[in-house]
Amino acid sequence: MGDFVGFWTVKGGETIWVDGVLPVAMRAGYWLVIDEIDFAEPAILAVLTAVLEPGGRLPLKEKGDEIVTPHPSFRLFATANAAGAMSIYRHLYQGANLLNEAFLDRWCVYLMDYLSPADEAQVLMRTFASRIDAEMAHTLASIAADCRAAFIREDLASAFSTRRLIDWTESMMRHGDPERAAGPTIYAKVSAEDAALIRGIVRHYIDLDV
């Protein structure tokens, strides 16, 4: 909370106030991005509620109730894995706060889905450059898409993130073996049942017996 809003400290024998990142951004007109806001402490969410009001201000209670007025260029953004509306993903993010409607109504909320297989293949080709060809990149992206479709159907208990796809590809580039690479990057992170289903999807695209 102190890092976010501010705190008193002693410097050179003098007690001084140090602004946190929020008042610094508000005074200077910076754009502030709060990553994974659904893991924020309730006290921080309460502070943001006041700032997000129309004509919102930041009261610094610890500094004698000084009021910070936002610079006209100040903007506030946030990311969240499981903000209230994303119920099908909530069980994947244990510990995330359920952001209530009163808080969400103070934001414009954009739901971001996974990339299309074509776009995700481009991510792999840009990430690994000449180490992966277009055909393999599209194959791996299609596997990820099929796993996500199985999750939506509730055949799988976990989704298939782009991070997981990149980790699998990186391991595959080192070992040259999709099955061996999938062990620590995919199968070990899911149940035995999910691992078997994912292995079946992989085998549909890649001959693991070669």
- Report pLDDT for 31: 98
Q: Where along the chain do its domains lie?
A: 2-104, 117-205
Mean per-residue pLDDT, 166-174: 95
pLDDT at 147: 96
Residue 210: per-residue pLDDT: 45
Q: Is residue 90 over pLDDT 50?
A: yes
CA trace torsion 170, 175, 179, 183 (10° rounding): -70
Give Cα separations from 73 to 21, 59, 125, 200 (angstroms). 15, 19, 37, 52
Tell me, what's the pLDDT at 192? 95
Distance CA 119, CA 160 (A): 15
Pairing of strands 75-78, 31-34: parallel
Taking alpha carbons only, the member of 104, 9, 93, 92 closest to residue 48 is 104
- Distance CA(61)–CA(99), nearest Å, equals 24
Class for domain 2-104, per CATH? alpha beta
The whole model's pTM is what?
0.76
Which has the higher per-residue pLDDT, 165 or 54? 165
72 neighbors 27 (Cβ within 8 angstroms): no
Q: Which residue has the higher pLDDT, 90 or 193?
A: 193
Q: Which of 112, 113, 115 is CA-nearest to residue 123?
A: 115
For residues 198 and 192, what is the distance between their CA atoms, to the nearest angstrom? 10
pLDDT digits 0-9 by tens, 50-81: 999 988 999 998 898 899 999 999 999 999 88
CA 188 from centre of chain: 22
Q: Give the closest residue to 89 by CA, choosing from 113, 121, 115, 123.
A: 113
Strand partners, 16: 9
pLDDT of residue 86: 55
How high is the pLDDT of residue 64?
A: 87
Q: Are 6 and 62 in contact (CB under 8 A)?
A: yes
